[in-house]
């Protein structure tokens, strides 16, 4: 009785992926905050198929998001899932990790990811379950392979270069480069369309963005936005936003503006350039203010 089987799986959803380069499959996230309806499937996630095995490039925003990605992988290839990259601590990127425990993969993260998970994941899990319902966020999974500066993994004649970044979007940002196709996975070091959210260092983020710009790239898969973009063009837009935030926050501090009032004046000219601006921009200004007020 297929109909009953389908309803027994209610809450789970099937996802589609786009092959943006040979063997690189991406599911695009929606530009929304987490809701019961979207199941926190709001980040771009995906996988790379190598000659021998598969690497998951962020496991998704909830257990059901991770399970849907896993079903999609099993539809595309039967090769074993050997690596699960966890790009940073934010729940929309890593709460799907529990769906892959059955594959016994190497969970890869920045050297600072374990402490960020220890400090925050339980809080994130509780908030996510308020939205999705009890038991639906997923188990907290810690990385089993830590990257200090650089590392690489091999999927079978397919090398993935890993780079642990200085404090930028967060203090635990890991990017990956699929060397064969020149595809960069900057995760949330690159936002497209959706307004960036600052949870690390504004000055550090500008620095890391510039460093990524020196790589020889064919395309990038941003943490949020289209499944594939031209890195240089997308990074320029991000840089414009971050530099407005930097310069106008500095000006507000110099003018004696209070921290609570700064969001009303800083970088307002960027408002029409980004979705969810009103949801995140004020927090970004507050973060920038705290970083810059003592410089
Ligand atoms: Zn993030």
* Closest residue by Cα to residue 49 from 224, 181, 238: 181
224: CA distance to ligand 1 center in Å? 9
Q: Residue 104 has which token pair?
A: 């016994």
d(CA 280, CA 80): 38
169: CA distance to ligand 1 center in Å? 7
d(CA 232, CA 47): 23
188: CA distance to ligand 1 center in Å? 5
Q: What is the pTM of this model?
A: 0.94
Provide the pLDDT for residue 12.
Answer: 62
Provide the pLDDT for residue 14.
Answer: 87
Q: Could you report the per-residue pLDDT of 42-81, keeping only the tens digit for each?
A: 999 999 999 999 999 999 999 999 999 999 999 999 999 9
Q: Is 225 left (phi over 0), alpha (psi -120 to 50) or beta?
A: left
Residues of the chain with pLDDT under 70: 1-12
d(CA 17, CA 34): 20
241 with 222: CB under 8 angstroms?
no
282: CA distance to ligand 1 center in Å? 16
Q: Residue 93 has which token pair?
A: 């990127």
DSSP for the chain reads -HHHHHHHTBTB-----EEEETTEEEEPPPSS---TTTTT--S-EEEEE-SS-EEEE---SSHHHHHHHHHHHHHH--S-EEEEE--SS-HHHHGGGGGGGGG--EEEEETTHHHHHHHHHHHHHHHHHHHH-TT-S------SEEESSEEEEESSS-EEEEEEPPSSSSS--EEEEETTTTEEEEEEEEESSBPP--SS-HHHHHHHHHHHTTS--SEEEEEESSSSB-HHHHHHHHHHHHHHHHHHHHHHHHTT--TTTGGGTTTGGGGGGSBTHHHHHHHHHHHHHHHHTT-
130: CA distance to ligand 1 center in Å? 20
Ligand 1 (single-atom ion) residues, CB below 5 Å: 90, 188
206: CA distance to ligand 1 center in Å? 15
Provide the pLDDT for residue 172.
Answer: 98
d(CA 192, CA 227): 10
Q: Could you report the per-residue pLDDT of 72-105, keeping only the tens digit for each?
A: 999 999 999 999 999 999 999 999 999 999 999 9
Q: Could you report the per-residue pLDDT of 196-208, keeping only the tens digit for each?
A: 999 999 999 999 9
């Amino acid at each position: 009785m297929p109909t009953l089987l389908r309803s027994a799986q209610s809450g789970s959803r099937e996802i589609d992926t786009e092959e943006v380069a040979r063997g690189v499959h991406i599911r695009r996230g929606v530009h929304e905050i987490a809701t019961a309806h979207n199941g926190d499937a709001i980040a771009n996630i995906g996988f790379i198929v190598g000659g021998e095995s598969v690497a998951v490039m962020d496991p998704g925003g909830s257990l059901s998001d991770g399970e849907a990605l896993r079903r999609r992988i099993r539809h595309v290839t039967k090769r074993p899932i050997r690596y699960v990259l966890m790009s940073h601590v934010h729940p929309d990127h890593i709460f799907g990790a529990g769906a892959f425990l059955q594959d016994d993969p190497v969970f890869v993260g920045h050297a600072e990811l374990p402490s960020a998970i220890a400090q925050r994941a339980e809080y994130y899990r509780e908030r996510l379950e308020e939205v999705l319902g009890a038991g639906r966020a997923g188990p907290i999974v810690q990385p089993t392979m830590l990257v200090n500066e650089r590392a690489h993994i091999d999927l079978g004649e397919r090398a993935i270069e890993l780079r642990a970044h200085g404090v930028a979007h967060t203090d635990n940002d890991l990017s990956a480069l699929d060397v064969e196709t020149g595809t960069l996975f900057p995760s949330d070091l690159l936002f497209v369309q959706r307004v960036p959210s600052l949870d690390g260092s504004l000055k550090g983020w500008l620095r890391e963005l510039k460093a990524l710009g020196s790589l020889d790239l064919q395309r990038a898969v941003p943490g949020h936005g289209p499944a594939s973009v031209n890195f240089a063009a997308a990074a320029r837009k991000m840089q414009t936003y971050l530099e407005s935030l930097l310069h106008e926050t500095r000006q507000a501090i110099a003018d004696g503006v209070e921290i609570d009032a700064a969001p009303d004046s800083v970088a307002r000219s960027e408002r029409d350039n980004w979705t969810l601006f009103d949801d995140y921009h004020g927090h970004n200004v507050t973060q920038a203010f705290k970083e810059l007020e003592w410089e």
